[in-house]
Amino acid sequence: MNPALEVKTERFSRTEGKTPAFVEGEVQTLLGAVDASTHTGLRDRALLGVLAYTFARIGAVVNLKVEDYYPSGKRFLLRFKEKGGKEKELPVHHKLEEILDQYLKASGLEKEPGSHLFPASIGKTGGHAASAIVFMPWLDIHGYQTST
């Protein structure tokens, strides 16, 4: 006889807490809202683009190196280093490819394959530090939830 059978509990629902997908045009609206006239703005737009087009974890995205974005035939791929040492390669959407190429060319990072793809910014100059970006206050300011 199992005494736990008599205990009444609330039903568990897996539908709560699921991350909703973007609706048509929402990604372009988000990326278009970023000021791309500075290195920091180009970086933020590229970072948001990678998150939106790949659905990768933020930890995997901020740890990307420039060398993790590379051509394979006619397409470009992104190589993510996931939890537990796993690697995952994903094809890059053509719109994301344009955003990443513009960012890498403007920032000069295309010549530094061992550097972080999304380095932290230094002060008001918008220069890049050697360390990876660790948070995105821009998302909170514009009403996008950054906590997981």
In a domain, 31, yes or no: no
- Token pair, residue 146, equals 């950054």
Residue 22 is assigned to a structural domain of this protein: no
Assign residue 78 the CATH number of its domain: 1.10.443.10
Task: Give the count of domains, the chain.
Answer: 1
Q: Consecutive sets of 10 residues in the chain, 148 residues long: mean pLDDT of each?
A: 73 57 84 90 94 90 95 95 89 95 94 91 53 50 48
Question: Which range marks the domain in which residue 58 is found?
Answer: 36-141
Beta partners for residue 87, in sequence order: 81
Tell me the C-alpha to C-alpha distance, in Å, between residue 15 and each of 11, 74, 102: 12, 39, 38
Please check whether residue 25 lies inside any domain of the structure. Answer: no
Domain contains 9: no
Asked, for residue 27, whether it belongs to a domain, the answer is no
Residue at 119 is within a domain:
yes
Which pLDDT value is given to residue 148? 42
In a domain, 97, yes or no: yes
Q: For position 68, what pLDDT does the model report?
A: 97
Domain assignment present for 21 = no
Which residues have a Cβ under 8 Å from the Cβ of 129 and sit 6 or more positions away?
A: 119, 120, 121, 122
